[in-house]
């Protein structure tokens, strides 16, 4: 029987206001005292039943900032008890880490969003010191060895040239994977953030393709794991005909 993965956004709420956020215009919402939408507890319980019936074996908590939901840990426990492997992407802020830290065993993997290798990350998120807190939180999760770890980066025009430095940052932190998501325009400035065509030659190296030991949409490297989603990698022939790319660089154990 085929297994499925589901992405779930349980709340629009977030304690940062990233300029590229696909949820909506956060600064405008704050100015207008917009009330963030969140899924009620009873509806989530029904959703878990539906996920199990549909043979969904993996769930990813995406944006807004899931730990800000008042029932976040109850939801995570519910999925864990149902035998569903759960992934979480967080901004790594203190308020989120206070919930995540004692409950890492509930998650199959935890990723922290880092879009620049320096304080430009904080500027883009309009939150002072968010870069330092994100790096500190990710290092803490890595060092705990209680779950798999990811550094999650949204590739945009404004940070494309910073990819080599981000790659080095991911290696220095010691994450299991570096996940790169291509910016998808929704309510935001397409011309400012969107990347029309990407050329990864020389940006991330060394890359070695293993046709025998991995599916054809995977690339393996000894030092780090990189998963690329929804990217055009025209310079890599083996990936040309695929619409979604998962590029995994496995580090030595």
Tell whether 167 is covered by a domain.
no
The whole-number pLDDT of residue 177 equals 83
Query: With 0-12 CB in 10 A as exposed, 13-18 as middle and 19+ as buried, what is 61?
Result: buried
Taking only the tens place, the pLDDT of each residue in 163-221 is 888 888 988 998 888 887 777 666 556 567 776 655 443 444 433 333 334 444 444 44
Residue 248's Cβ-side half-sphere holds a number of Cα atoms within 13 Å equal to 12
Do residues 89 and 114 make contact, with C-beta atoms less than 8 angstroms apart? no
Nearest to 146 by CA among 110, 99, 95, 97: 110
Structurally, how many domains does the chain consist of?
1
Written in H, E and C, the secondary structure of 51-108 is: HHHCCEEEEEECCCCHHHCCCHHHHHHHHHHCCCEEEEEECCCHHHHHHHHHHHHHCC
Sheet of 148-155, strands arranged across = 4-8, 56-61, 85-90, 109-113, 148-155, 177-182, 226-229
Tell whether 26 is covered by a domain.
yes
Classify the C-alpha dihedral 114-19-188-95 as positive or negative. positive
Q: What is the pLDDT along the chain (253 residues), one digit of tens a residue?
A: 788 999 999 998 888 888 887 765 655 666 667 778 899 999 999 999 999 999 999 999 987 899 999 999 999 999 999 999 999 999 999 999 999 999 999 999 999 999 999 999 999 988 899 999 999 999 999 999 999 998 998 888 888 888 888 888 988 998 888 887 777 666 556 567 776 655 443 444 433 333 334 444 444 444 444 554 444 443 333 333 333 333 444 444 3
The boundaries of the domain holding residue 107 are: 4-149+174-179
Give the integer Cα–Cα distance in Å for 212 and 174. Answer: 26
Query: Which value, to the nearest 10 degrees, does the dihedral of the CA atoms of residues 108, 109, 110, 112 take?
Result: -160
Tell whether 252 is covered by a domain.
no
DSSP 121-163: HHHHHT-TTHHHHHHHHHHHHHHHTSSEEEEEEEE-TTTGGGH
The 3-state DSSP class for residue 178 equals strand
Tell whether 248 is covered by a domain.
no
DSSP symbol at 228: E
- The residues, any chain, with a CB within 8 Å of residue 6's CB and separated by 6 or more, are 51, 56, 58, 59, 60
116: Cα separation from own chain's centroid: 14
Tell whether 77 is covered by a domain.
yes
The whole-number pLDDT of residue 145 equals 95
The whole-number pLDDT of residue 193 equals 78
CATH code (residue 47): 3.20.20.70
Give the integer Cα–Cα distance in Å for 227 and 219. Answer: 9
Tell whether 207 is covered by a domain.
no
Do residues 61 and 86 make contact, with C-beta atoms less than 8 angstroms apart? yes
**Number of Cβ within a 10 Å radius of residue 54:** 12
The whole-number pLDDT of residue 212 equals 38
Tell whether 121 is covered by a domain.
yes
| Residue-averaged pLDDT of the chain | 78
Tell whether 139 is covered by a domain.
yes
Q: What's this model's pTM, rounded to 2 decimal places?
A: 0.80
């Amino acid at each position: 029987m085929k297994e499925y993965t589901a992405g779930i956004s349980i709340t629009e709420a977030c304690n940062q206001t990233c300029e590229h956020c696909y949820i909506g215009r956060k600064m405008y919402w704050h100015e207008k005292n917009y009330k963030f939408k969140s899924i009620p507890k009873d509806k989530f319980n029904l959703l878990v039943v539906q996920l199990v019936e549909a043979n969904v074996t993996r769930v990813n908590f995406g944006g807004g900032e899931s730990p800000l939901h008042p029932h976040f840990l109850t939801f995570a426990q519910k999925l864990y008890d149902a035998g569903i492997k759960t992934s979480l992407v967080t901004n790594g802020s203190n308020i989120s880490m206070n919930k995540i830290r004692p409950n890492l065993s509930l998650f199959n993997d935890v990723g922290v969003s880092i879009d620049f290798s320096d304080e430009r990350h904080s500027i883009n998120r309009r939150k002072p010191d968010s870069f330092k807190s994100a790096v500190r939180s990710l290092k803490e999760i890595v060092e705990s060895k209680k779950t798999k770890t990811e550094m999650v980066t949204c590739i945009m025009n404004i940070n494309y040239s910073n990819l080599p430095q981000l790659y080095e940052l991911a290696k220095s932190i010691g994450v299991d994977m570096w996940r790169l998501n291509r910016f998808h325009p929704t309510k935001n400035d397409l011309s400012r953030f969107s990347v029309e065509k990407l050329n990864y030659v020389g940006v991330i190296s060394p890359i070695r393709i293993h046709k025998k030991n991995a599916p054809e949409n995977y690339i393996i490297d000894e030092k780090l794991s990189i998963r690329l989603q929804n990217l055009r990698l025209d310079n890599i022939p083996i990936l040309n005909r695929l619409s979604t790319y998962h590029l995994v660089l496995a580090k030595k154990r």
